[in-house]
Amino acid sequence: MKRITVLIAAAGLACNLLGELSVAEIVERANQASYYAGDDGSADVTMTITDKGGSVRTREFRVLRMNTGQGTQKFYVYFKKPADLYKQVYLVWKEVKEGKDDSRWMWLPALNLKRSIAPGDKRISFVGSDFVYEDVSGRSLKEDKHELVETTDEQYVLKNTPVNPESVEFASYTVWIDKQTMLPRKAEYYDKSGKLLRTVEAVKVETIQGFPTVIESVAKDLNSGSTTVNTYSAIKYNIGLNERIFTERFLRRPPREAVR
Amino acid sequence: MKRLKMTLFSTRYPWLIVALTLLGVVFFGAQFPKVKFDNDPENMLARDEHVRVFHNEVKERYRLYDFVIAGVVNTADEDGIFNVGSLRRIDALTRELISLRENADGLPEVIRNGKPFVPDLQPASAWKRMLAHVFGNDVNNLFDEAGHSVIINGEIISPGVVDNIRQDGQGQLAIEYLMEHAPANREEALVVKHDAMNNPLYKGTLVSEDGQAIALYIPIVAKTYSYNVANLVEKLTEEWPESDQIYITGQPVAQDTFGVEMLVQMASSAPLAGLAIFLLLLFFFRRISLIVAPMIVAVVSVVCTMGLLIGLGYDVHIMSSMIAIFLMPISVADSVHILSEFFDVYPRFRDKAETIKHVVSHLFKPMLYTSLTTIAGFASLATTPIPPVRVFGLHVAFGVALAWVLTMTLVPAYIMLFVRTKTLNALKPEEHKEHRGMLSRRLAAVGTLSYRRWKTILFITVAVIVVSIYGISHIRVNDNPVKWFTKNHRIRVADQVLNSHFGGTYTAYLTLKPASADVMNLSRKLTAIRDRIRTRMEKGTEGTQEFEAILDGFMTRSGKSGQVDEKVFFSDLTVRVEALDAQINGVWLTLGDAINYLDPDKVTLPSIMQAVQGKGDVKERQQLIKALESLGDISGAVLQERALEFVDKKTKTSFLSLLNEALAEINAPAFKQPQNLAWVERLQEFLKTVPKIGKTSSAADALKKASFELNYDADADLQRNNSFYSIPQTPSAVAQVFVQLEGMKKKDSLFHLVTRDYGEVNLWVQLKSGDNTDMQSVVEMTKAWIHDNPAPMKMETGWAGLTYLNVVWQEKMVAGMLNALFSSFVVVLIMMVILFRSVLFGVLAMIPLSVTITFIYGLIGLVGKDYDMPVAVLSSLTLGLSVDFAIHFLERAREMTATTGSWKKAIEKMFQEPAMAISRNAIIISVGFTPLLFAPLVPYKTVGFFLATIMAVSWLATLFILAALITGLQKYLFNKEK
């Protein structure tokens, strides 16, 4: 018995030496690569939501992000288009500690209204698109059990099963992660009967300031037949954002980093 | 004789005929396993029918589904349905429905208490299980071809899975489900009640206003699964306590249940009717061996006709399920005439073949014509615009033709083969006489009466017709598939109970869209922008001149190049206006920005001075510092705020903001424009006052609720908060509230009520009644209101939904049936003229059926019975059957008058044997269909009742009116003969 354990341990070591990663390492690195690149960053997003019938809704906004230590992050989302959403702002403080909820605020300029939003479901659609909040800010690694189902030359394929299945709309999801960049390239969400519900795909990736960066991603809702394409431009890392930007005061008076 | 060829052949080679018949039965019977059923009244309309296409478009555009409505009512608890137990059960049921899946054995399985649970969905009664098996109605069929649940989980409406915006009590806005978790205690249960009652989308729909009931709306992929889903819900709630009553309804369930029960009816009513006819025949003819023949004719005709229908690939529809019932009396009728006569004249010949020859030669012409007229009556249904009715009409016509052929061939063959001569010879004439005497004494009296009192009879007839016409004028054309069930049927009960609690279980959708999209070209847009900015800015305000100059420049540009990419165009304009903003407000913006980034806790006047050092212009800096100095000794966040306020005061309105505001207004789709939404609001106010409308829901309701919750301030007074329960005042404000609704927990639920581009809206209209007349008046009243209260922009309205669809097919049905009735009337009249070679006789032949039809419809109008689908179909049956009696009567009357020399002498004979045959027929059919009166489905009852009435009335009409008319017209009728 003891011998077997030693053997397994040795095998594990050998794998690591050969450059193969453990499941925990894979998810951790993928998480870092997709959500934590640099100390902070800024990007312009053009969001195109196309429904089954072909009608299109477009949204343009700038996202400012800042890593604030121990996995916490702050996001400032500033809308430029369409004209009727001009200057609308979402502010999010992301928490990762168990039992701690994110904080969210919004600013609706046409209503001259600032509201704080109660922590709630992170699987809510992001401004009506096929992306959910969790796609934007990342899903806590502790919420799923991860399982490496396949390793190809280029990718790791992971199956992820929620620890608390009642809390989410899916039963499991599979993620394909590029070995080279450690960026997840595709995620497929399935329901209990094994029906594909939703896919999120990183269609285009470029290296910007040394960080592999998704510059186009697509989310599809298979139930409604709706598709959302996000294209990212003017991506900048390590721009030295002031953390004070991510406060309520900057809702009404957007920072120059968002406006210009 | 030519006409006897077929019959003589049959008497010569009876075995061949029997063999051929058997072959036919086997062939058509072999089609039966291919049977498919279709219970969908929607199929009353052709697939490409405009309104149906529109209905499906609306369903698709707004992602609407047919749903099973499961209402739970609790009148026992003081909190009504909002008690912990009931809410927990409802929540558990919802989870179970969502968890529905096919297990390894292919059976439906749900998750109950965390474990798989396989409910036994089979009916308790063995008889029903057997029928379900025979008709291939698998209650476990709850999965589509790919094995996925037919319930659309994401669209279930139940407290645990519908959105709710509310105040979380700490000044935060909570976006969650109405009932995130099943309540643990009374307080939590009452919170659910409070939230539900305060949501206009749920009150009256999901929860009843009296707080006693909750209705789950379970959307399904296709209507045909609704019976099974309803059954599943019933089985899953089987062990619920008495206090929670479950009621399941909704049009799909009603229709599907009707379909299932219709099969049971087909399996029981038709044979019962057959049995009743058999017993009556037995009573009249007293020899089983004799009367088996008509029964065989009936069964063979029905089997072959249904086999043909199935073999041709038609689904058995509500209409075609009645084929058996219609065909039975008609096919029996001819053979009864033959038998009746055979029975009477056999003693004369004492030879079967001779008797048959005599009887058939005698009856050939009337029988051919009675069959032809019946065929014409039913075939005329092929002219209706309703596919199932066409199929029904043509198949019955086929069945009648077949029955005629069988009567001419199989009946003689049968008599030759299976009726023993001994039996016939053994018939005691006394018994015969005595039996005849009973009926015929009375018939003789009728004859005398018709002759002597013909004027009185005609007077009475005219009186009856006048009253009937009055009745017809009161006919109410109406149908309601739910009313196809008898009053105590669980679906009728559920319908009644749920409609007393809720806004209505009948669904119609009213869609509104601008009649023409007002597309502004660029120069019009620019003009509109300039106009808006002029009204907003005082003349001479800094920058307005520059702004107008920019606009003028762009105006020229838009005029020059024909095709400009608007996006690029406005993008460029934005850049220019941004630059203008920087030019005018740049200094103050820079100063404000510098102050804004300071750490509020550490703000002091010196720190501000340091922050603005070197920024902007000296002049502005000095103004700022001077102003701040005058504030006295303040610091920190307060000072920062005051400093920013000062900067704001100095900052001119941003032209970019103005431009965006103007753009938002110009480009706003119809239903981001407050004035259009306000009109929808008014329309809804009106609809509330329309009888039978319980509730309407629209995007405006969702908008107002969201606006209220977003703007809610716990510290503010009620009046201020309530003022936000309204449509926001600008398109941008509307858009910003709508975008919050787009990002709700249940994605896209808003888009059931408005299209994604906000160009069109859909009002969900809940009606408490599914009567077509009610729906029709809703449509008319709405049209009138819109005419009197036009929308700010011209709107096109469209109706969809099953309740509305029923109205449309009914209208088509009524018009189509009337048309068919008239055309077959003309055809039959022509046939009669040809048959009797006399216009007068032809017209005469039409009189009893005309009186009968007038009387029947007059009766329907007088007693207030709705003219519905079964009644409409009966008109063609009336035509086909009533004329038969007249043909037989007139044919024989003419013959007898010829042989006896005068009508006076003939009438005596007429009221013996010929009247006997007619009477037997009438009685057999009338009484034979009484079993239908006990059917649990109303259309069958209607058919049963009216068949009996039609027979009785046309029998009377023939014997009294025809006889009386002939008496009155004998000079003209018989003189011409000579």
| Contact flag A111-B102 (C-beta cutoff 8 Å) | no
DSSP string covering B790-851, please?
A: --SS-EEEEEESHHHHHHHHHHHHHHHHHHHHHHHHHHHHHHHHHHHT-HHHHHHHHHHHHH
Of A57, A124, A169, the CB nearest to B756: A57
Six token digits for residue A12: 């594990």
Mean pLDDT of B925-946: 81
Whether a cis peptide bond, with omega within 30° of 0, leads into B108 is no
Task: Quickly count: other Cβ atoms within 10 Å of residue B288's Cβ.
Answer: 12
Q: Do residues B891 and B365 lie in contact, with contact meaning Cβ atoms separated by under 8 Å?
A: yes
- Return the amino acid letter for A229: V
Residues B109-166: tens digit of each pLDDT? 998 988 899 999 888 888 778 777 777 778 888 998 888 899 998 899 999 999 988 8
Out of B130-144, B233-247, B846-860, which region has the weakest mean confidence (pLDDT)?
B130-144
The residue-averaged pLDDT of B701-705 equals: 95
State the greatest distance between any 2 C-alpha atoms of chain B, in Å, as a whole number. Answer: 137
pLDDT of residue A75: 95
Nearest CB neighbour to B149, from listed A88, A193, A221: A193
Residue of A84, A107, A221, A260 to mutate, testing the B interface (most B Cβ within 10 Å of its Cβ): A84
Please tell me the distance in Å from B524's CA to the nearest CA on chain A.
18
Q: Which of B177, B756, B757, B760 to mutate to test the interface with A (most CBs of A within 10 A)?
A: B756
**Residue of higher predicted confidence among B73 and B350:** B73
- Cβ contact, residue pair B147, A108, below 8 Å: no
Residue A14: per-residue pLDDT: 46
Contact residues, chain B, for A117 at CB < 8 Å: 172-175
CB spacing of A244 vs B597 below 8 angstroms: yes
Which residue in chain A is spatially nearest to B148 when comparing CA positions?
A193
How far apart are the C-alpha atoms of A146 and A143, rounded to whole Å?
9
Structure tokens belonging to residue A123:
């699987």
Q: What is the pLDDT of residue B433?
A: 47
Using CB atoms and an 8 Å cut-off, which of residues 591-650 of chain B contact chain A?
592-593, 596-600, 644
Contact B352, B416 (CB under 8 A): yes
Predicted confidence band at A1 (pLDDT cuts at 50, 70, 90)?
A: very low
In angstroms, the Cα distances linking B121 to B108, B118, B140 are 9, 9, 7
- The half-sphere exposure of B928 on its side-chain side, counting CA atoms within 13 A, is 30
Average pLDDT over residues B812-832: 86
- The 10s digit of each residue's pLDDT in A44-87 is 999 999 988 888 889 999 999 999 988 899 999 999 989 899 99
Domain span at A90:
2-259
Measured at the alpha carbon of residue B140, what is the angle toward residues B137 and B143, in degrees to the nearest 5? 105
The confidence score (pLDDT) of residue B431 equals 43
Determine, for residues A124 and B148 on separate chains, whether the beta-carbon distance falls below 8 Å: no
Q: Provide the CB-side half-sphere exposure for B547 (13 A, CA).
A: 29
Mean pLDDT over each residue of chain B, to the nearest integer = 86
DSSP B214-260: EEEEEEESSGGGHHHHHHHHHHHTTTS-TTSEEEEE-HHHHHHHHHH
Instruction: Provide ipTM, 2 decimals.
Output: 0.90
| Residues 6 or more apart whose Cβ sits within 8 Å of residue A3 | none
How far is residue A91 CA from its own chain's centroid?
15
Counting Cα atoms < 13 Å in the Cβ hemisphere of B787 gives 6
Rounded Cα distance between A226 and A228, Å, is 7
Residues near B571 by beta carbon (within 8 Å), at least 6 away in sequence: none
**Residue B660 touches partner A, C-beta closer than 8 Å:** yes
- Which of the two residues, B729 and B536, has the higher pLDDT score? B729
Interchain proximity A84–B168, CB inside 8 Å: no
Minimum distance, in Å, between the CA of residue A12 and any CA atom of chain B: 36
To test the contact with chain B by mutation, choose from A111, A123, A126, A227 the residue with the greatest count of B C-beta atoms within 10 A, namely A111
Residues of B in contact with A83 (CB under 8 A): 659-661, 663-664, 667, 732
Contact between chains at B745 and A242 (C-beta distance less than 8 A): no
**Contact across the interface for B748 and A113, Cβ inside 8 Å:** no
Residues B388-433 have pLDDT tens digits of 888 999 999 999 999 999 998 998 898 888 877 777 776 655 444 4
Residue A16 sits at φ, ψ, to 5 deg, of -60, -40
The more confidently predicted of residues B816 and A33 is A33
CA distances from B907 to B277, B450, B633, B954, B956 (A): 29, 9, 127, 19, 16
Least confident of A30-34, A205-209, A225-229, B424-428: B424-428
The token pair at A162 is 């929620």
How many beta-carbon pairs below 8 A join chains A and B? 140
For residue A173, CA distances in Å to A82, A136, A149 come to 33, 17, 12
Amino acid sitting at position B850: S
Task: Among A83-97, A137-151, B679-693, B878-892, name the one with the lowest average pLDDT.
Answer: B878-892
- Tell me the whole-structure pTM to 2 decimals: 0.86
Least confident of A148-152, B270-274, B756-760, B902-906: B270-274
| Element at B491 (helix H, strand E) | helix B490-501
Quick: pLDDT tens for A157-171. 999 999 988 778 899
Mean pLDDT of A2-8: 50
Q: Do A85 and B672 touch (CB under 8 A)?
A: no
Q: Count how many domains chain A has.
A: 1
Confidence of residue B482 (pLDDT cuts 50, 70, 90): confident
Whole-angstrom Cα distance, residue A215 to residue B607? Answer: 41
Q: What residue of B is the nearest CA neighbor of A119?
A: B174
- A9-23, B293-307, B409-423, B531-545 — which is least confidently predicted? A9-23
The widest CA-to-CA distance across chain A, in whole angstroms, is: 71
Q: Please tell me the distance from the alpha carbon of residue B437 to that of residue B452, in angstroms, as a whole number.
A: 22
For residue A14, the domain's CATH number is 2.50.20.10
Asked if the Cβ–Cβ distance from A193 to B101 is below 8 Å, we say: yes
d(CA B24, CA B27): 5
